[in-house]
């Protein structure tokens, strides 16, 4: 025993020395970047060009400082010893000294680091040994080795508990941490996949889908420079979830990933939410066609165009208007941009008309004068000019007409613009959605595939606040009237992707023209607005049927006991789904009945008991959305995180207390899936508190 301890202590000491050398180089790099940044900021720019260059350089250096600072904690976590004696240390970022051939620290995403994650005794990938380092701050406090080539342990090998076990035993903090040191082979294979198109990762609760998605985002930034140039977007279901995952990428040295919800992406803050049946209808991609039809209906409906120019009314025939409309529509420009083209084409037609009618008027005057006086005015004018010694032909009406000047004047003319506005009005996204869902005749005209009842559900009162299900409609309308979103991304990661409606998928695809995406989710955990049953159905219309589908099979969160307790529920909500395995053991879930005492009394007693027995652990109380207010008012948040069931997806706690499971099931359609999500949030203990149904007292 003491011999083993001696070996471990000696190896820890050796690693300490190496890690402190790496730490010194890291400090040098960080100090260098900070110094350079301070230098750039201190030097006054000479002129606008230099100010711009300074800004660019300062931005780049500030990013570098943030990248280094983010990766400082747990900078070095692994080492691989190749069979030929080469030693590589693996860390959150790469460090290299020009004087050395081998890197001082290999970035975990580099190809050279792959065996650290993927080597097994069956496929050792030329490794003899894989070593995990455990650090407290900068100091190595433990090492643990795996021998991969079948060789016998030597006096330098420290075999013991796996690092994964240690990682999983850590307390939850309310924020997810990176799993970069312990990514498992099946996860790593997805993170490092060379596939640049759409990758879908499915798996039961706690199988590491979020872990894979976030490490994949970091990998894409490292390995796919073209995608990295355009940036990476991580889309999550709500702000609470984004807060939960917000630390992972910065701790991998990646600060420039955009984390957003659909609302943030569309830049719309909804003021209400729709009932589920309305949200489902609004999520249907059929609404995209309807919105497009509304916009088309506002583009120069049939008819002549009449406008007052100076003292005259000029009329353009329907055919001229139709031609301008078709050219503007087929230009590929969005409605408000195509309006300018439409106006220019109308003005061109007007100018032609003015030139023609001007020439006609002059000819008519000439003819009248000739009839009255017998004089040919053109000939008289030519003779006058000859007498004056000018030999030029007199200007005709057409020559006098300055088409360019008239055109410019018309384009600037306010009354002409107003006339165009009547024909092709500038629209806001809100106008379009409002026109579809509020105007009396629009639903019947554009939503023919819906029944009368469905159309009635879709109707919204004029001036009502926008709802969360309106957000993708507004975004669609924005793309129709103002064009595609300004910012597109090179790669998009979607977590809880089973939640997205057809209209939301359209939002995402608009922002990722390269269709390079990592989508992770689980249909057994789908919320009530989800209508698709599987990935092919959900993605087919938007991304096609060809995607790389991967399945994770091991749960790193949900204990075997909790998985067993939820087996029947899973069989009901996802019949035929093969069960997942868990590598965690814990307590058998308990059930408490909140009767005859009030619920809050039972709950507070339970939370106090747990806090006393397991101090410092993170407890989540999950309840039906409608009960949150009551529990918040009773001060439950002093003891635990209080989470409405609709927002529990993706979250994790040491212990979960699920309040009134029957209430969660009944709260909204698909409530059994909400309950499944709630029951699978704990890493250690689950307790459900049942509430007796309210008794109706007959009078
Ligand atoms: N390789 C790993 N090393 C250490 N911890 C891991 C690993 N993989 C997953 N975990 C941990 O397991 C827990 C569950 O992971 P994650 O949240 O990614 O699962 P999920 O599949 O997204 O779950 P859900 O379906 O509930 O959203 C997290 O605490 C995560 O850090």
pLDDT in tens, 185-206: 889 999 999 999 999 999 999 9
What pLDDT score does 632 carry?
96
What pLDDT score does 1 carry?
44
What pLDDT score does 212 carry?
95
Question: Looking at 349-363, 436-450, 610-624, 667-681, which range is the least confident one?
Answer: 349-363
pTM over 0.90: no
Tell me the CA–centroid distance for residue 315 and ligand 1, in Å.
69
Higher per-residue pLDDT: 140 or 365: 140
Nearest Cα residue to atom 8 of ligand 1: 208
What pLDDT score does 164 carry?
81
Residue 316, SS3? Answer: strand
Question: Looking at 50-54, 238-242, 603-607, 638-642, which range is the least confident one?
Answer: 50-54
Q: How far apart are CA 671 and CA 623, in angstroms?
A: 12
Q: Which atom number of ligand 1 is nearest to the Cα of residue 556?
A: 12
Strands 491-494 and 517-521: parallel
Tell me the CA–centroid distance for residue 651 and ligand 1, in Å.
10
For residue 699, what pLDDT band results from cuts at 50, 70 and 90?
very low
Residue 94, ligand 1, Cβ within 6 A: no
Strands 139-147 and 127-136: antiparallel
Tell me the CA–centroid distance for residue 208 and ligand 1, in Å.
3
Nearest Cα residue to atom 4 of ligand 1: 179
Nearest Cα residue to atom 24 of ligand 1: 205
Tell me the CA–centroid distance for residue 177 and ligand 1, in Å.
10
Q: Which atom number of ligand 1 is nearest to the Cα of residue 212?
A: 18
For residue 379, what pLDDT band results from cuts at 50, 70 and 90?
low
Q: Is 204 annotated as a binding residue?
A: yes
Structure letter (DSSP) for residue 626: G
Q: Over 90: is that where the pLDDT of 547 sits?
A: yes
Candidate ranges 526-540, 584-598, 607-621; pick with highest mean pLDDT = 607-621
Nearest Cα residue to atom 9 of ligand 1: 208
User: Tokens 């004068």 correspond to what residue?
Assistant: 369
Q: Do residues 218 and 254 touch, judged by C-beta distance below 8 A?
A: yes
For residue 391, what pLDDT band results from cuts at 50, 70 and 90?
low
**Beta-carbon contacts of residue 476 (< 8 Å; ≥ 6 apart):** 287, 288, 291, 503, 506, 507
ipTM over 0.90: yes
pLDDT tens for 420-461 read 999 999 999 999 999 999 877 888 889 998 999 999 999 988
Average pLDDT over residues 156-162: 69
What pLDDT score does 7 carry?
79
Helices (H), 627-689: 628-633, 661-667, 671-679
**Percent of the chain residues topping a pLDDT of 70:** 92
In DSSP terms, 87 is beta-bridged to 81
DSSP conformation letters of 272-293: B---HHHHHHHH-THHHHHHHH
Residue 203, ligand 1, Cβ within 6 A: yes
pLDDT tens for 322-372 read 999 999 999 999 999 999 999 999 999 988 888 887 666 666 666 666 666
CA angle 237, 241, 246 (to 5 degrees): 120
Q: Which atom number of ligand 1 is nearest to the Cα of residue 649?
A: 27
Candidate ranges 115-124, 309-318, 606-615; pick with highest mean pLDDT = 606-615
Nearest Cα residue to atom 5 of ligand 1: 179
- Cα dihedral: 399, 402, 407, 410 (round 10): -110
Q: How far apart are CA 158 and CA 143, in angstroms?
A: 7
Q: Which atom number of ligand 1 is nearest to the Cα of residue 204?
A: 25
Q: Which atom number of ligand 1 is nearest to the Cα of residue 177?
A: 31
Residue 688, ligand 1, Cβ within 6 A: no
Tell me the CA–centroid distance for residue 565 and ligand 1, in Å.
20
Residue 621, ligand 1, Cβ within 6 A: no
Average pLDDT over residues 4-32: 90
What pLDDT score does 672 carry?
96
The answer, yes or no, to whether the previous bond of 195 is cis (omega within 30 of 0) is no
Residue 237, ligand 1, Cβ within 6 A: no
Pocket test for ligand 1, best of 108, 117, 208 (most atoms within 8 A of CB): 208
Q: Over 90: is that where the pLDDT of 597 sits?
A: no
**Percent of the chain residues topping a pLDDT of 90:** 65
| CA atoms 508, 513, 515, 516: torsion sign | negative
Q: Which atom number of ligand 1 is nearest to the Cα of residue 176?
A: 31
Tell me the CA–centroid distance for residue 211 and ligand 1, in Å.
6
Pocket test for ligand 1, best of 176, 210, 617 (most atoms within 8 A of CB): 210
Q: Is 206 annotated as a binding residue?
A: yes
């Amino acid at each position: 025993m003491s011999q083993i301890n001696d070996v471990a202590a000696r190896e820890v000491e050796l690693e300490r020395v190496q890690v402190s050398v790496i730490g010194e180089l890291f400090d040098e790099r960080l100090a260098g970047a900070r110094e350079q940044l301070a230098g750039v900021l201190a030097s006054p720019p000479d002129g606008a060009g230099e100010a711009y260059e300074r800004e660019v350089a300062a931005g780049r250096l500030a990013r570098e400082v943030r990248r280094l600072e983010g990766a400082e904690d747990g900078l070095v976590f692994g080492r691989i010893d190749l069979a030929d004696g080469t030693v590589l240390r693996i860390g959150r970022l790469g460090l290299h000294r020009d004087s050395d051939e081998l890197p001082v620290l290999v970035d975990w995403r580099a190809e050279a680091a792959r065996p650290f994650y993927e080597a097994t005794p069956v496929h050792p990938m030329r490794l003899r040994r894989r070593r995990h380092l455990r650090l407290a701050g900068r100091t190595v406090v433990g090492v643990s080795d795996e021998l991969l080539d079948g060789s016998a342990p030597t006096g330098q090998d420290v075999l013991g508990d796996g690092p994964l076990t240690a990682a999983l035993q850590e307390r939850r903090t309310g924020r997810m941490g990176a799993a970069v040191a312990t990514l498992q082979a099946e996860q790593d294979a997805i993170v490092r996949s060379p596939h640049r198109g759409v990758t879908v990762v499915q798996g039961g609760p706690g199988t590491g889908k979020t872990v894979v998605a976030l490490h994949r985002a970091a990998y894409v930034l490292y390995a796919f420079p073209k995608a990295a140039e355009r940036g990476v977007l991580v889309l999550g279901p709500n702000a609470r979830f984004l807060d939960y995952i917000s630390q992972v990428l910065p701790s991998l040295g990646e600060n420039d990933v955009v984390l957003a919800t659909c609302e943030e992406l569309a830049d719309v803050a909804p003021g209400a939410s729709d009932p589920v049946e309305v949200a489902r209808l609004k999520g249907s991609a059929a609404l995209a066609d309807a919105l497009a039809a509304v916009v088309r209906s506002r583009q120069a409906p049939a008819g002549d165009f009449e406008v007052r120019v100076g003292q005259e009314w000029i009329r353009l025939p329907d055919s001229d208007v139709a031609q301008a409309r078709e050219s503007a529509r087929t230009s590929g420009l969005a409605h408000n941009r195509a309006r300018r083209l439409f106006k220019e084409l109308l003005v061109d037609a007007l100018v032609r008309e003015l030139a023609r009618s001007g020439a006609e008027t002059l000819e008519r005057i000439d003819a009248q004068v000739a009839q009255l006086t017998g004089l040919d005015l053109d000939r008289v004018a030519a003779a006058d000019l000859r007498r004056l010694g000018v030999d030029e032909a007199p200007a005709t009406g057409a020559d006098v007409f300055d088409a360019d000047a008239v055109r410019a004047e018309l384009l600037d003319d306010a009354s002409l613009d107003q006339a165009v506005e009547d024909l092709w009005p500038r629209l806001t996204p809100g106008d379009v959605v409002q026109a579809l869902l509020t105007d009396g005749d629009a639903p019947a005209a554009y939503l023919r595939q819906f029944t009368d009842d469905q159309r009635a559900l879709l109707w919204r009162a004029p001036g009502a606040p926008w709802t969360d299900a309106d957000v993708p409609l507004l975004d669609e309308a924005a793309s129709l009237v103002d064009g595609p979103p300004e910012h597109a991304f090179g790669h998009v990661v979607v977590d809880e992707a089973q939640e997205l409606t057809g209209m939301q998928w359209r939002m995402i695809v608009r922002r990722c023209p390269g269709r390079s995406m990592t989508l992770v989710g689980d249909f057994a955990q789908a919320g009530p607005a989800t209508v698709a049953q599987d990935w092919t159905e959900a993605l087919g219309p938007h991304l096609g049927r060809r995607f790389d589908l991967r399945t994770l099979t091991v749960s790193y969160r949900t204990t075997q006991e909790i998985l067993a307790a939820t087996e029947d529920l899973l069989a009901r909500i996802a019949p035929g789904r093969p069960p997942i395995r868990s590598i965690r053991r814990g307590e058998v879930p308990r059930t408490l009945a909140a009767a005859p005492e009030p619920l809050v009394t039972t709950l507070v007693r339970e939370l106090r008991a747990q806090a006393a027995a397991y101090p410092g652990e993170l407890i989540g109380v999950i309840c039906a959305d409608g009960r949150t207010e009551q529990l918040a008012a009773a001060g439950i948040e002093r003891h635990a995180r209080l989470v409405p069931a609709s927002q529990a997806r993706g979250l994790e706690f040491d212990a979960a207390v699920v309040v009134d499971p029957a209430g969660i099931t009944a709260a909204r359609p698909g409530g059994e899936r909400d309950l499944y999500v709630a029951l699978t949030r704990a890493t250690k203990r689950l307790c459900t508190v049942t509430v007796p149904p309210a008794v109706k007292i007959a009078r």
